[in-house]
Amino acid sequence: MGANEEIKIRKVHTFLDLAVAAIVFAAGVGIYFLLPGWGILFCLIGILLFLFYKRAYKCVGERTVLNEKSQDVALECRNGIIHFLDEKADKLDLPAATEGDHLYLEAYFNAEKQLAYARLYDVAENRFEPVTEMKQLRGSRAQTLITELGKNGR
């Protein structure tokens, strides 16, 4: 990725997603010969699963499959998170947010490849305002983010 390119993340199918859709569709074809109405319903569900059920993510132009995790974070951590994402700090602390205005950190990652993408949002009155653009983290920085999100992310 070039330095000025915007990082875009999109949802993609995993092998398991495709397998489940194919099994439901095949079951529908089999059931059709016994109970046509139920068979058609299962076939339609299989098709809808194929079209809409996507559990993984990829960065546009990349092949690495990513997982998603997000967390509501206390407002006091704003500068610390921004410095970490901008590679100006090595430590990251993500205490959970209390009620009211807070920050929202969304991250897409692959722990095996030590690769992560993250963006910080300011949440005020249920409006998500981007604070940072999507940032790419590699190596130990990505691992630090993944570990911190694993402590209490959703």
- Residues 12-25: pLDDT tens digits? 999 999 999 999 99
Residue 116 pLDDT level (bands cut at 50, 70, 90):
very high
Report residue 144: phi and psi, to 5°.
Answer: -60, -45
**Same domain, residue pair 102 and 138:** yes
Residues 110 and 142 in one domain: yes
Name which of 19, 22, 122 is nearest 75 in CA terms. Answer: 122
DSSP string computed for 14-68: -HHHHHHHHHHHHHHHHHHTT-HHHHHHHHHHHHHHHHH---EEEETT---EEEE
Q: Is residue 47 domain-shared with residue 15, that is, in the same domain? A: yes
Whole-number Å distance between alpha carbons of 143 and 129: 26
Mean pLDDT across 116-132 = 89
Rounded (10°) CA dihedral 28, 34, 40, 44: -20
The confidence score (pLDDT) of residue 4 equals 59
Tell me which residue range forms the domain holding 35.
9-59
Q: What is the mean pLDDT of residues 77-104?
A: 85
In a domain, 36, yes or no: yes
> Is residue 134 scored above 80 in pLDDT?
yes
- Among 7, 103, 121, residue whose Cα is nearest residue 60: 7
CB-based contact 9:107 (threshold 8 Å): no
Residue 3 inside a domain? The answer is no
Greatest CA separation found in the chain? Answer: 65
Co-location of 74 and 133 in the same domain: yes
Answer yes or no: is 134 within a domain.
yes
Say whether pLDDT at 115 is over 60: yes
Looking at the chain, the whole-number percentage of residues with pLDDT higher than 70 is: 95
Do 52 and 119 lie in one domain? The reply is no
User: 27-52 pLDDT, tens per residue?
Assistant: 999 999 999 999 999 999 999 999 99
Number of domains in the chain: 2
Determine the pLDDT at residue 7: 87
Same domain as 82, residue 45: no
Looking at the fold, whether 21 and 42 belong to one and the same domain comes out as yes
